[in-house]
Amino acid sequence: MTFDSLPNYSVLELNEAIGSLLERGFAPRFILNASISKAQLKKGHLWLTLSDGKASVSGVIWASQLQKLDFQPVEGDGVVIIGKLNFWAVRANLVVQVLNIRPSITTVLRQFEIVKTLLSKEGLLDEARHRKLPKYPKAIAILTSVPSSALADMLRTAKERWPLTTLFIIPIPVQGSVAQEIQSVLQALASSIKSLAIDGIIVARGGGSREDLMVFDNEELCRFLADFPVPVVTGLGHEDDLTVADLVADHRSATPTAAIVDLLPSFEIALENCLQRRKRLNDYFSWFMHREKQRLVEIWKDWKAQSPEVIIQIKREDLLQKYHLLEALSPERWLLRGFAIVQNRLGKPIRSIQDVKEQEKLTIRLSDGQIDSTIDKVYSKLSGS
């Protein structure tokens, strides 16, 4: 191998050739999974050392791009990057230019566990702290992204379910490092709760990845939700997604639409309950009227039984019975049957031979008159003489 048979480059030409080869042979955009082993801000640009534990590569987020990002990583974060290669021919320096970046699921779950453990130790996750939701709220506030399909579904469901409740729609950012902005909105709302007569609030966000919900694992935001003046309902992401905000809320719903269903009563169920109550009232009224009618009938019977005519008739019948009894026992009736009444001259009835003596004058009364007689002889049953 001789010098004449090989390509001849200067250092710059070699670096430019390598750069050209990279541009032609490598994807213009790619996704990179990595951890941040070093992060340093210089002149507005964020310089990163990206590693997977076996190898490392430099990365940079230019200042112009850094201002547009919702998430700014720190050392130790796991990240998912959309990037492209930058190769500087002058120094043969290769870096990954970060176009977009978000936390990886490991970072999200680590943040979730840290905040969850901290607030749990303080008792902010205890179910005993959860307040009952209002049965018939006069007004509620919905905090979510505006406009959004989630909000449209919630408004439609609220109108169908319970149109009597006033809805206050309060726009909030729901993704990225926006915890402070959400907390500012909540603070302003908390000071107006009484004047607006709000009975509860819903914090909602439509579908997305678990990484998109990382803002709802923010410690300060979750503390504020835990101490909010009225009951808080969360409807964040999908049913399987769980954030710290869900744990400190008074009620966690699976989705934004489910949050409306859980907080507002059902018009159809309320109507059915009203119909059932009306039927029970009608049944009670019928029973009450029947009972009162029976009571009045009994009172009328008692009154009728105590009327002067009835009393006089009863007395008349009683006297008539006594009269017939006396008539049946009257001496006159015995006289008509052939009996006689024997009296001494004083008119005293003679009941025994002991009551008379010989030559005494007696009067014998019969049914049609009387006979005067004198006793000639008194005979005793025992003596026969």
Asked if 80 contacts 101 with a C-beta cutoff of 8 angstroms, the reply is yes
Q: What is the torsional sign of CA 66, 71, 76, 82? A: negative
The band of 177, judged by pLDDT with boundaries at 50, 70 and 90, is confident
Higher pLDDT, 383 or 193: 193
Last residue of a domain, one of 265, 292, 307: 265
Average pLDDT over the chain reads 89
Does residue 383 carry a pLDDT above 70?
no
By residue count, the chain amounts to 385
Given this model, what pLDDT does residue 57 score? 93
Check if the beta carbon of residue 376 is closer than 8 Å to that of residue 361: no
Which of 45, 74, 103 lies at the terminal end of a domain, its last residue? 103
Question: Over pLDDT 70: what percentage of the chain?
Answer: 98
Say which range, 102-106, 132-136, 158-162, 241-245, has the weakest mean pLDDT: 102-106
Are 200 and 231 part of one and the same domain? yes
Q: Highest mean pLDDT range out of 53-57, 241-245, 272-276, 335-339?
A: 241-245
Q: What local confidence, expressed as pLDDT, does residue 1 receive?
A: 63
pLDDT confidence of residue 367: 77
Tokens linked to 268: 């159809």
**pLDDT band at residue 223 using 50, 70 and 90 as cut-offs:** very high
Let me know whether 19 and 53 are in one domain.
yes
Q: Are residues 83 and 214 in the same domain?
A: no
Compute φ and ψ for 30, nearest 5 degrees. -155, 165
Give all strands of the β-sheet with 341-344 in edge-to-edge order.
Answer: 341-344, 361-366, 369-374
Taking CA 38 as the corner, what is the angle to CA 34 and CA 42, rounded to the nearest 5 degrees? 120
User: What is the 8-class DSSP label of residue 207?
Assistant: S
Q: Is residue 367 part of a domain?
A: yes
Confidence bin at 53 (pLDDT 50/70/90): confident
273 assigned to some structural domain: no
- Domain boundaries, position 18: 3-103
Q: Where would I find the H helices in 122-266?
A: 149-161, 179-190, 193-196, 219-226, 244-248, 256-263
Q: Which residues pair with 94 in a beta bridge?
A: 87
Residue that terminates a domain, selected from 244, 265, 286:
265
Q: What are the helix (H) ranges across the chain?
A: 11-25, 63-66, 105-121, 149-161, 179-190, 193-196, 219-226, 244-248, 256-263, 267-305, 308-329, 331-336
Residue 382: inside a domain: no
pLDDT category of residue 226 using cuts at 50, 70 and 90: very high
Query: Which of 140, 221, 212 has its CA nearest to residue 183?
Result: 221
Q: Which two tokens stand for residue 96?
A: 């990954």
**Tens-place pLDDT, residues 288-338:** 999 999 999 998 888 877 778 878 888 888 888 888 888 777 777 777 777
3-state helix vs strand vs coil in the chain, percent to 5 = 45, 25, 30
In a shared domain, residues 10 and 58 = yes
| Confidence band, pLDDT 50/70/90 cuts, at residue 8 | confident
Whether residue 213 sits in one domain with residue 260: yes
Strands 251-253 and 341-344: unpaired
pLDDT-derived band of residue 259, with 50, 70 and 90 as boundaries? very high
Q: What does the pLDDT read at residue 30?
A: 93
d(CA 215, CA 245): 9
